[in-house]
Amino acid sequence: MLSMQFGVSAFGVVTTVTAFMIGLGAGSLIGLHWADRVSRPVAIFAGLEISIALYALLLPELLQTAGSWVERLAGQLSLFQWYGLQGSAALFLLAVPACIMGAGLPLMLKATGIRSSLKKFYGVNTLGAALGALLPLWSLPTLGWTTSLRVVATLSVAVGTGAFILSRLAETAECLPENKSPRVPLRSVIFYAGIGAASLMLEISWVRLYGMVMLRTEYVLGVILAVYLLGIGFGSLLAPRLAKPWLFVLLPLAAGGFVLLGLWELPAVSAWVEGHEFRSLAGALWSQALVLAACTLPVTLILGAWLPLLADRLGDPDKSGVWLYGANAIGAGFGAMTAGLVGIPLLGAPATVAVSGIAFAILGLSWGTSRHAWLAIPIFAGCALPLWHLPPAHELLPQTLVGSRDLYFYEDIISATHVVQQEDGQRLLLTDLQRMDASTDPAAVQIQEDQARLPLLLHPAPHRVLFLGLGTGISIAGSLAFPDLERNAVEISQGAIFAANHWFAPANENAMHRTGVYRDDAKHFLGATHRHYDVIIGDLFHPDLAGLSSLLSVQQFQRVQEHLSDNGVFVQWLALNQFDSQSLNAVLRGFHHVFPQAQLFMDGMHLALVGTKQEFAGAKAMAENLRRLSESERQSATGEEGIWTWLGRYWGPIPDSVGPVQDEWMPFIEFRLPRARYAGDLDLKKLLAELLHQRPDIDTAAKILRIDATDRSNFEHAYVASDLVTRAWIASLSNDDAKAIRLTWLAYQANPRDRWIAEGLADNMLQLLPQARRQGLSERAALLRILKIDPVHTETLRALWHLERSMGNAPEAERYRLQLLAISPLDSEANMPTTSPR
């Protein structure tokens, strides 16, 4: 819920864990004071458990009310004030049930009437918590969010009802007699609270690190939390009956050592995940959970054993244990907050893990008796120094990023941003390591620039544009041909803003200098601003990540609609390879709900959802827009493809359908997509075939777009060409290369100006170059034919450059090199003209 509301998964995790742990700790201390004064502790426990269930059912309404209230204040608050207010409201609302849960431990300890039962209760309760953390991995994608909540509430009612029945049967005489709570040394309370703070700093940092190298989904937290709780539960149950003095030397040293060892193992874990193929989501979760357990279980076993051992050492282990448990949990809550707001932003996740490990050793040794053991602390610090920063990207992903080098890294609680340079000189923008946002490869540059071209072409005279998402800034470069255009962009990642301004400036034509960039959350920005825009563009992103899917929700589309000018246009781009049919249709239904006249365009394998404030103007608006531009501006505005190529990419209105939509309070796609990916349901071939099937015929399309009779032939050629090239892609995905080549050639004959068609045909011809040589065609002649098809085909230009150099024709070679460099300014070989030909 909080990930959807904040739009940032990690921020929701920190808020939830902080509220939960502080509530548990405070509740246990309150319950300890209360337990001495009640005669029927099990009945009280039953009432508390049922109240938690009722509160859980009310919580969505409470959070929705609080969220609406906070959203109305967006215009009066900065982004971080807004986050702070949201976090405060969530902390309060979540801490209430957590406090009630915490009170259950001392009540049940009193009810047993058996001394020294703390470690059993603590251990069994924590093992149950581990199972509870795994339950959503099944319930969320299978039952949905609302039903899952009801199932959990029903379990709580069942527990409460069972406890109430037991309370009627049990004899209160078996309860422990009333006695005063023992005096626990303040020093031990403070130190054990510090252990709690270090343990949750460690867990939050683990969520970031292992979330980067393992499953990039909503399910990561469940797996990490389950493994974490499993170790604590077993550690408590397996703790020795008597606390030996040497244990208070061994445990802290072992805990700190295993934490640092886990950091050393991170590149190996990441490489294993990258190279392993998983056949189902369940298989991926179990396999990665086992690897995670190997890295983290030794530490969590020690953390679990610490409480019963220390409580036994202090005397009256049950009540001393509750005091320690309460202090530890409250410390853990503040530790989670410290990790999210201080540790990760200032030090980074690896350094925060290392600090946690050293803190375990220092705090734990305070209960030991060996002075020599303190000599291990400087050794630990020395071992931690090489682990202070995240390993290079090519070590974490040795297959995907082989030969690359890190140029820039920025991390905060929101995201971790990488800029890496590949061997060929092209740069990649990575968010949270495995998520590739954009590239400077020429084909990727065209995709990004087209994200601005189509929306701006569909407006008759755009003067103000807003980009929701910045990425590399290359998409903004696609807007530079439009005169008198005020450009604004909203981007939450400070790392992405810096990278666009510096590392991607050669590829985005320094477009950032002509753009007003707001570091803000899109939801907050739209709630805070009173401005309206002619064109709003929704960037491409990975929709299966928790929080990001809220950008495809009905509520987000409504916010955008409210900020469009009277004849405004909103275009939300979707990468088709990231969706299955069910998830895509859920987004389309939500978009259609907000924009009843919504239309579809398809550029390459990217779908554009087009919503308008008024009636869709079609070809008339595009023609009116281009008439006000000079000839050079028209060519640049259409990417040298012309108006008919873009109108030929029309794919019809969004059809009516029945089913779920993506809703901020009933999220669908981030739970559906991970299962679909591992089940093989992310079938691009199937999705393209479905979209092709629903595409309207030429007459219907011409009528919707309002194509004049005099322009009908140009439109038909472009429309048929986009149909043929889509069929060619389907054939290629079906491994029918001969059919794909034939269809691509037919598409080129229909519309040679379409760059996707020309590029595909040029690729095919370059692969068939040896065959052309065998038929007597010289290499130069064959390459020039390819270049005539696609004048900006980089590999053909490279081949001609090498050929002319090998033949000693320096002026011609230099001309081709400069052409290659103009298309791909970061190409490493083109930037080294003295390099020998391959």
pLDDT at residue 16, as a whole number? 83
What SS3 class is residue 56? helix
Question: Which structural domain range is residue 417 located in?
Answer: 402-435
pLDDT at residue 150, as a whole number? 86
Do 699 and 810 fall within a single domain?
no
Do 545 and 589 fall within a single domain?
yes
**pLDDT of 3 strictly over 70:** no
pLDDT at residue 838, as a whole number? 42
pLDDT digits (tens, 9 = 90+) for 759-772: 999 999 999 888 88
Q: What is the mean pLDDT of residues 691-706?
A: 96
Residue 663 pLDDT grade (very low, low, confident, very high; cuts 50, 70, 90)? confident
Q: Supply the DSSP string of 254-302, one letter for each residue.
A: HHHHHHHHHHHHHHHHHHHHHH---SSHHHHHHHHHHHHHHHHHHHHHH
Q: What is the mean pLDDT of residues 666-678?
A: 81
Do 85 and 47 fall within a single domain?
yes
Listed in sequence order, the residues at least 6 apart from 268 whose beta carbon sits closer than 8 Å to its beta carbon are none
**Hey, what amino acid is at 521?**
D
**pLDDT of 52 strictly over 70:** yes
Residue 8 pLDDT grade (very low, low, confident, very high; cuts 50, 70, 90)? low
Question: Any idea which of 32-41, 96-105, 177-186, 282-291 has the lowest mean pLDDT?
Answer: 177-186
Buried-state track 219-245, b at ≥16 Cβ within 10 A, e below 16:
bbbbbbbbbbbbbbbbbbbebeeebee
**pLDDT of 837 strictly over 50:** no
Residue 627 within a domain: yes
**pLDDT of 173 strictly over 50:** no
Integer Cα distance of 532 and 565 in angstroms: 5
Q: What is the mean pLDDT of residues 202-206?
A: 91
Residue 712 within a domain: no
CATH number where 771 lies: 1.25.40
Asked if 663 contacts 553 with a C-beta cutoff of 8 angstroms, the reply is: yes
Angle ∠(758,762,766) on CA atoms, nearest 5: 175
Listed in sequence order, the residues at least 6 apart from 92 whose beta carbon sits closer than 8 Å to its beta carbon are 19
Residue whose entry in the numeric block shows the structure tokens 């109108």: 647
Phi, psi (5° rounding) for residue 170?
-75, 150
pLDDT at residue 40, as a whole number? 84
Residue 380 within a domain: yes
Asked if 544 contacts 678 with a C-beta cutoff of 8 angstroms, the reply is: no
Q: Pairing mode, if any, of strands 464-468 and 599-603?
A: unpaired
**pLDDT of 511 strictly over 90:** yes
Alpha-carbon separation of residue 168 from 43, 46, 104, 106, 646 (angstroms)? 8, 11, 18, 19, 75
Alpha-carbon separation of residue 494 from 471, 473, 617 (angstroms)? 11, 13, 37
pLDDT at residue 501, as a whole number? 95
pLDDT digits (tens, 9 = 90+) for 592-636: 999 999 999 999 999 999 999 989 999 999 999 999 999 999 999
Do 446 and 409 fall within a single domain?
no
Integer Cα distance of 715 and 751 in angstroms: 10
Residue 724 within a domain: no
Q: Pick the residue with more confidence: 81 or 96?
A: 96
**pLDDT of 37 strictly over 80:** no
Asked if 341 contacts 274 with a C-beta cutoff of 8 angstroms, the reply is: no
Residue 184 pLDDT grade (very low, low, confident, very high; cuts 50, 70, 90)? confident
Question: Any idea which of 27-36, 199-208, 573-582 has the lowest mean pLDDT?
Answer: 27-36
Q: Say what the pTM is.
A: 0.90
Do 774 and 648 fall within a single domain?
no
Q: What is the mean pLDDT of residues 149-166?
A: 90
**pLDDT of 833 strictly over 70:** no
CA–chain centroid gap for 621, Å, is: 36
Residue 180 pLDDT grade (very low, low, confident, very high; cuts 50, 70, 90)? low
Do 517 and 532 fall within a single domain?
yes
What SS3 class is residue 768? coil
Q: What is the mean pLDDT of residues 196-211?
A: 91
Q: What is the mean pLDDT of residues 542-550?
A: 76
The residue among 674, 707, 740 that closes a domain is 707
Do 653 and 754 fall within a single domain?
no
Residue 172 pLDDT grade (very low, low, confident, very high; cuts 50, 70, 90)? very low
Q: What is the mean pLDDT of residues 10-38?
A: 84
Alpha-carbon separation of residue 88 from 463, 524, 664 (angstroms)? 39, 16, 20
Residue 770 within a domain: yes
Asked if 361 contacts 377 with a C-beta cutoff of 8 angstroms, the reply is: yes
Residue 631 buriedness (CB in 10 A; 0-12 / 13-18 / 19+): exposed
Q: What is the mean pLDDT of residues 261-287?
A: 88
Find, among 537, 546, 500, 492, the residue nearest to 519 by Cα.
492
Question: Any idea which of 178-182, 201-205, 415-419, 462-466 has the lowest mean pLDDT?
Answer: 178-182
Q: Pairing mode, if any, of strands 606-612 and 564-575?
A: antiparallel
The residue among 652, 674, 707 that closes a domain is 707
Do 637 and 736 fall within a single domain?
no
Q: Pick the residue with more confidence: 498 or 528?
A: 498
Q: Pick the residue with more confidence: 182 or 809?
A: 809
**pLDDT of 171 strictly over 60:** no
Tally the C-alpha atoms within 13 A of residue 785's C-alpha that lie toward its C-beta. Answer: 15
pLDDT at residue 320, as a whole number? 81
Q: Supply the DSSP string of 156-173, one letter for each residue.
A: HHHHHHHHHHHHHHS-GG
* Max avg pLDDT among 129-143, 209-223, 589-603: 589-603
CATH number where 371 lies: 1.20.1250
Neighbours of 516 (CB within 10 A): 11
pLDDT at residue 181, as a whole number? 53
pLDDT digits (tens, 9 = 90+) for 514-528: 999 999 888 889 988
Residue 829 within a domain: no
Question: What is the total count of domains within the chain?
Answer: 4
Buried-state track 198-213, b at ≥16 Cβ within 10 A, e below 16:
bbbbbbbbbbbbbbbb
Q: What is the mean pLDDT of residues 823-830?
A: 94
Do 43 and 90 fall within a single domain?
yes
Asked if 379 contacts 284 with a C-beta cutoff of 8 angstroms, the reply is: no
Residue 94 pLDDT grade (very low, low, confident, very high; cuts 50, 70, 90)? confident
pLDDT at residue 670, as a whole number? 78
**pLDDT of 15 strictly over 90:** no
Do 513 and 489 fall within a single domain?
yes
Tokens coding 258: 């295993």
Q: What is the mean pLDDT of residues 20-32?
A: 90
pLDDT digits (tens, 9 = 90+) for 323-341: 888 999 999 999 999 998 8
The residue among 672, 707, 742 that closes a domain is 707
Do 239 and 124 fall within a single domain?
yes
pLDDT at residue 176, as a whole number? 45
Average pLDDT of every residue of the chain: 88
CATH number where 460 lies: 3.40.50.150
pLDDT at residue 116, as a whole number? 59
Do 232 and 315 fall within a single domain?
yes
Find, among 330, 327, 349, 354, the residue nearest to 339 by Cα.
349
Tally the C-alpha atoms within 13 A of residue 371's C-alpha that lie toward its C-beta. Answer: 0
Residue 326 within a domain: yes
